[in-house]
Amino acid sequence: MSTATYSVKEHLERVRSGELALAPFIKDTLEKSESIQKKYGPFVTINNSVKAPTRKGALFGLPISVKDCICTKGLQTTAGSKILEGYVPPFNATCVEKIAAAGGMVLGKTTQDEFGFGTFNVNTKYSIPKNPSDTDRSCGGSSGGAGCLAAAADFPHVALAESTGGSITAPAAFTGTVGITPTYGRISRYGLIDYSNSMDKIGMIGRCVYDTALVLSVASGHDPLDSTSSNQPVPDFTGFVGKSVAKLKIGMPKEYFSEGVDKRISKSVRDTADKLEELGASIEETSLPLTKYALPSYYLIAVSEASTNLAKYCGLRYGMQEDTEGNFDEYFSKIRSESFGEEAKRRILMGTYSRMAGFRDAYYLKALRIRTKIIEEFRTAFGKYDALLSPSMPILPPKFSEIAKLTPIQVYGMDVLTIAPNMSGMPTLSVPIGKIDNLPVGVQLIANQFDEGTLMALGSAIEGFNGSHDRT
């Protein structure tokens, strides 16, 4: 049987039983990865030294790709930036270590917007991934390589990704894959190259809900190396796949169906809501009026934290370095000017400005207060609803020629549906619900903190009536 014709679940069963030998499978997978790279460009680095694992856990023999901002021992990790070109971490991120302990194999590092700064994965020195549905179009960002590979891979695979403001949901929606952004703190951030410490979350993109639930179960849990990681118990999330959604109460925030959302996408999402109602779920329109404040407050907080985090890239300790000439300020400025991309420079400048004396109170601290209010608004909503439902992205995957004409403000506005739940630390799941003009469309499900199980139940129900369960 070709590896292209069976699911992750079937693959793991075949490996455990001894029916599938890993050495030839790995060789075949690496050859396919090289071919996919030439056609679509999802990788920064392919791990040609991958070997069959010795530890036989829940992921024994499963290829896992890793977004390039997550540290991998002995494998280049650039975060999509020239300033980290050639950096090879001496350690694994905690989530990578957990996956390896469960028998997962690191296939390679996937491309991304530099430090996560982007919605379309075009802000990078490395490969810009092409959408498998139409190579003239974007895979979304910043985890575009993860979404691209999850869609293009003709072998069992799950992509480890990361989101700050929607960087898992966007590529999942644009590539017709499933993306889980877990609760902030569910997965350790130790070994993650920071964008915004208070909002960064590691998650997964896969071909179906079961695949993401499986890897989420392995990667989650408290880590003493990350003080923000949660002590919440970690259930087996695959147990929620296929669970009944009857009696669940779901809200549809009217602000997420605004004029800026493609009407065809809104209709597809409403049709999905109708089908959930047929399964016994209760659907009603609701309102989250503070949504309109989410975008500006998010960007103020995110760029403020980013400008601080990126200060350590000074050309002295790791990454880009040159012969030191002149004083430190001159050397520091030269390295950063040459090695940071345009969008990274823009966000560093905005973040530094917002933290300056006289502006910190007027902008940054006010944004933090708004964030608290938005979190409170979500918690109130989840006192009434089990989940919220909306489009994943307001548009269909755009052409690269269209992206080139957008202003930075227009690009930032594309995150309007994903910013609020991300900055609130709420878990979200993007599930494909069909196509418009032969391009993928996704529905976004939002749940209360640490209630990823409800998302898995709803996501698998949506897969069921969209004919996707054959991949589990």
DSSP 279: T
> To the nearest whole number, what is the mean pLDDT of the chain?
95
User: Which among 7, 142, 188, 304 is annotated as catalytic?
Assistant: 142
What are the structural domain ranges in the chain? 3-250+383-471
Span 3-250+383-471 CATH architecture: Alpha-Beta Complex (3.90)
- Residue 67 appears among annotated catalytic residues: yes
- Confidence class of residue 361 from pLDDT cuts 50, 70 and 90? confident
User: Which of the residues 32, 33, 65, 67 is marked catalytic?
Assistant: 67
**By three-state DSSP, how is residue 436 classified?**
strand
Q: Is the confidence at residue 471, as pLDDT, over 60?
A: no
pLDDT at 470: 40
| pLDDT computed for residue 469 by the predictor | 41
Convert the pLDDT of each residue in 364-379 to its tens digit: 999 999 999 999 999 9
pLDDT for residue 2 is more than 70: no
What integer pLDDT is reported at residue 4 of this predicted model?
54
**What is the chain's percent helix, strand, coil content, to nearest 5?**
45, 15, 40
Q: Which helix (H) or strand (E) holds 416?
A: none
pTM of the model: 0.96
Going by C-alpha positions, the residue among 196, 162, 198 that lies closest to residue 182 is 162
Given 65, 81, 133, 167, which residue is catalytic? 167
Task: Dump pLDDT digits (tens) for 6-25.
Answer: 799 999 999 999 999 999 99
Lowest mean pLDDT among 30-44, 323-337, 362-376, 395-409: 323-337
pLDDT of residue 465: 83
142 carries an active-site annotation: yes
Q: How far apart are CA 70 and CA 128, in angstroms?
A: 18
Confidence of residue 467 (pLDDT cuts 50, 70, 90): low
Strands 134-138, 130-131: pairing is antiparallel
- pLDDT score for 216: 98
* 68-86 pLDDT tens trace: 999 999 999 999 999 999 9
Q: Does residue 259 carry a pLDDT above 90?
A: no
* Cα dist from 103 to 67, 172, 218, whole Å: 19, 25, 10
Q: Is the pLDDT of residue 472 over 50?
A: no
Q: Which tokens is 83 given?
A: 């300033």
Q: In sequence order, which residues have a C-beta less than 8 Å from that of residue 262 and are 6 or more positions away?
A: 394, 395, 396, 436
Count of beta carbons in the 10 Å neighbourhood of residue 246: 11
Place of tokens 């891979």: 153
pLDDT higher than threshold 60 for residue 168? yes
Q: Which of 97-101, 274-278, 356-360, 423-427 has the lowest mean pLDDT?
A: 356-360
Of 170, 167, 162, 208, which is closest to residue 66 (Cα–Cα)? Answer: 162
Q: Establish whether 167 is a catalytic residue.
A: yes
